[in-house]
Amino acid sequence: MIVSSSVVSPRPWVWLDVDDVLVDSTPIFQESMDRWTGKTIPWQTWTHNRFHQFYGIADEDAATIARMRQRWKDDRVLERSPFMPHVAQAMATIVNAGADIGLLTARAWHSEGEAITREMAAQAGLSIKAVISIHFHQTKADFLIHSGTQVVGFIDDTIRHVEGCVAAGFNAVLMDQPWNREARHLPRVANLEEFAQQIQARLASPVPPRRSPRP
């Protein structure tokens, strides 16, 4: 994976997932899915995040998956996803504690996913140093290991990404969501403020963060 040299900085880095961590996108996805399928399946009942399966769409059905993604694009789900509460304050807490912030999102299904994310952060005046968009099947732990950044924290709502990052030795936590509640073995936070406070405490303590090897 190629990482821009601008990603590498001597400051510690905090990496955040975007959907369902920084922005509240799932209600917008549900709206799009409900309208398309004629079913109503409240996101609060989603017990895993391959939520298209609740609508009867199988992963092997590539043609339907492609149509579904086109629907999401047409419905502008990424562009319309609102920020979670207190995002600006949480990001400021992290930056003031001495870390740079990167967004690590699996929005590569959308050709404009990275650009939309950059624009969203810029509009909100967030201090974001890097935006990386990967494909759903890729692993975020692999990215962090090869990023060359000194990672002090990572947050995601997807169990397998947090699991992978914890296994790789990173300080990784789950953003609490209905679809990850079964993962009791992983650390979790209820909101971004709680995450930012943990990062602040960590940067104030003498425990060294994990430095990932350079690629």
Q: Within 10 A of 5 (CB to CB), how many other CB atoms are there? A: 7
Contact pattern for Mg ion over residues 118 through 157, marking x by CB under 5 A: ---------------------------------------x
Amino acid at 136: F
The least distance separating Mg ion from the CB of residue 22, rounded to whole angstroms, comes to 9
Give me the 6-45 binding string for Mg ion, x by CB under 5 A, dash otherwise: -----------x-xx-------------------------
Nearer to Mg ion, 19 or 163 (CB): 19
Strand partners, 102: 15, 130
The CA-atom distances, in angstroms, between 119 and each of 91, 100, 116, 166, 178 are 16, 18, 5, 30, 28
Q: Measure Cα distances from 116 to 26, 79, 81, 92, 172 in Å.
A: 17, 7, 11, 21, 25
Number of residues that bind Mg ion (CB under 5 A): 4
Helix (H) or strand (E) holding 120, with range, is helix 113-123
Are 140 and 161 in contact, with CB atoms under 8 Å apart? yes
CB-nearer residue toward Mg ion: 97 or 107: 107
Does residue 100 touch Mg ion according to CB under 5 A? no
Which residues are at the interface with Mg ion (CB under 5 A)? 17, 19-20, 157
